Amino acid sequence: MPSSVIKSARRVFEVLEYFDDMRRPASLHDIVSHFGYPLSSGYSLLKSIVAMGYLDYDKASRTYMPTMRVATLGHWVQDALFGDNRILPFMQHLSAVTGEMVCLGTQSDLLAQYIYVISSNRPLDLRLRSGTVRPLAGSGLGYLLLSARPDDEIETLLRRINARKRDPSRRIPLATLMEQVNDVRRQGYVFSRNIMPGFGLIAMLLPVRHHGRILAIGVGGRVDRLEARCPHILRELRRGLE
């Protein structure tokens, strides 16, 4: 998670995501033990979330549980993301025919972000949480999203990215970035082999934008499987996008 995130804000969303993973009520001890929060800080945090109406506290069992306010908070987002409802069925189809993780990605300021993920059913396989971010100018998904932008916009974005790097040696030359972007433009897709050790992603741009956002759809899994099935995966992606 970016270091610029305020600790109190981060903890609120950590707790809500914890419940999304566990899918059951949890006690104060469960939560502070999981995150390593000080007991007093954990108690104050949960008390505040209860007061805001996003958690409910049951005195009998001494457990917390998200309220329906959490469930309805982002209910509109699915329609905003998936528009005419063709994207989600396409992702589900890719998941079924490939057996791999399928994800939807977009640009979030100076980052590339996975905004919706359908996980693989394989044990010990690639697991990405919706909301995971990658460098816009340093990842396969980022190069793919940048490939849809004019060169002058890419240059402006890179200046902002480099301005945030305190170490000048970590700044990215424009020529280096454009080489990666132009490779993606020529291929029409990206095959990233390093999203996590041993795991990769094959992805393409969606031909339409939603609310002005550039979207990309990808299939992720072990690099050896993706390499062996690359033609099949690309065929399924192209077929669906057409």
pLDDT at 158: 97
Query: In a 10 Å sphere around its CB, with 0-12 CB exposed, 13-18 middle and 19+ buried, how is residue 203 labelled?
Result: buried
pLDDT tens per residue, range 77-87: 666 666 656 88
pLDDT tens per residue, range 184-226: 999 999 999 988 889 999 999 998 777 778 999 999 999 999 9
pLDDT at 85: 66
Largest CA distance in the chain: 63
Q: Which residue has the higher pLDDT, 85 or 27?
A: 27
Cβ–Cβ < 8 Å for 87, 104: yes
pLDDT tens per residue, range 96-139: 999 999 999 999 889 999 988 998 888 777 778 888 889 999 99
- Indicate the pTM of the whole model: 0.75
Tokens 């419940």, residue located: 19
Q: Which residue has the higher pLDDT, 69 or 193?
A: 193
